[in-house]
Amino acid sequence: MVGYIYIFTNPGFEQYVKIGYADDWKKRLRELSNRSSVPYAFRCYAVYEVNKRLEDKVLHNMIDQLNPDLRTVDNINGKQRKREFYEMTPEQAYNILKAISIITNTDKKLYKISETKKDKEELKRAQNDKQQRPPFKFSMIGMRSGDKIYYKKNKSVVAVVVDDSHVKYGDITYSISSLARELEKSKYNVQGPIYFTDVNGKTLDTLRTEKGK
């Protein structure tokens, strides 16, 4: 029986790729794209034919061993749930599969999927929406003064919401983007909501996108 490890992307979550398994990747693509909570359709970047079900779990474990911070994690009712989304480019994900296929002499079973007209339209729509997006406000995702946010790369780094646009970290008040820039030690401006999560492990940007803000 042939199944597929797939690499899916979504213009609404451009910093992530979804790596999973499906007996029928086209059906899985439609299922994900038809969910009401997803503002844009998913695109299939590449697929890798495998002979056993759930071989993606082996790949997940390998990536987790290399860098556990790449995978998104939710906390549901006190229980940790690892998701199939990874913070990497689709090309980086593809190169991991490519290395495996070369080692196992199965490189002919790995192939990229050409971008469709619909994929291009969804990307353009997402880009237009982001250009029109107003600045991030905590009220957009239901957060209020006193709520805590967590630095995605180190959950022990916690900031407290002060008002709709600012947080307090230590004794200093920051905009969320200025705090992210300092923690990232970046010379350039960064998008703060991408670097912080709520208590359940979802980035603030993801929460905003889910709420259509």
Nearest to 114 by CA among 26, 46, 25, 12: 46
In a domain, 61, yes or no: yes
| Residue, of 66 and 44, whose pLDDT is higher | 44
Do residue 46 and residue 115 come from a single domain?
yes
Confidence band for 194, pLDDT divided at 50, 70 and 90: confident
Nearest to 200 by CA among 161, 147, 124: 147
- Check whether 60 has a pLDDT greater than 90: no
In a domain, 119, yes or no: yes
Identify whether the C-beta of residue 156 lies closer than 8 Å to the C-beta of residue 148.
no
Rg (alpha carbons) of the chain, rounded to whole number = 19
Do residue 80 and residue 169 come from a single domain?
no
End position of a domain, from candidates 81, 105, 131: 131
Do residue 127 and residue 45 come from a single domain?
yes
Amino acid 36: pLDDT: 58
Amino acid 187: pLDDT: 66
- Check whether 210 has a pLDDT greater than 90: no
Amino acid 84: pLDDT: 81
Do residue 176 and residue 76 come from a single domain?
no
Do residue 126 and residue 168 come from a single domain?
no
In a domain, 213, yes or no: no
In a domain, 117, yes or no: yes
Amino acid 47: pLDDT: 96
End position of a domain, from candidates 71, 101, 131: 131
> Per mean pLDDT, which range of 27-31, 131-135, 148-152, 205-209 is the poorest?
131-135
Q: What is the mean pLDDT of residues 150-166?
A: 93
Do residue 144 and residue 125 come from a single domain?
no
Do residue 37 and residue 106 come from a single domain?
yes
Which domain range does residue 143 map to? 138-208
Do residue 145 and residue 127 come from a single domain?
no
Q: What is the mean pLDDT of the chain?
A: 86
End position of a domain, from candidates 131, 158, 178: 131
Number of domains in the chain: 2
pTM of the model: 0.64
197 CB-near residues (< 8 Å, 6+ apart): 149, 150, 152, 155, 203, 204
Amino acid 212: pLDDT: 74
Do residue 149 and residue 106 come from a single domain?
no
Do residue 73 and residue 99 come from a single domain?
yes
Do residue 124 and residue 181 come from a single domain?
no
Nearest to 44 by CA among 121, 115, 126: 115
Do residue 83 and residue 177 come from a single domain?
no
